[in-house]
Amino acid sequence: MHTKTDIETPAVSYYLQILKDEGVLKVWREGTKNYCYSPLCNFLYMVAGVID
């Protein structure tokens, strides 16, 4: 990850863990890969659909 950004891998892991602990990110695993998504995005899309 460091090759694409100026952020070190331990820092990314640290902030991802904070977001997971707060429920902002959810993670699922497939084999050796971890995938993250935000349930908040789904909620915002639903709210935007109601407002439009």
Report whether 9 contacts 2 (CB < 8 A). Answer: yes
The residue extents of the domains of the chain are 9-51
Tokens of 50: 């109601």
* Whole-angstrom distance, CA of residue 46 vs CA of residue 20: 22
pTM of the model: 0.59
Dump pLDDT digits (tens) for 1-52. 445 667 787 888 898 899 899 888 899 899 999 898 888 877 777 777 766 5
pLDDT of residue 7: 75
* Whole-angstrom distance, CA of residue 22 vs CA of residue 10: 19
pLDDT of residue 2: 43
27 C-beta neighbours (distance < 10 Å), count: 12
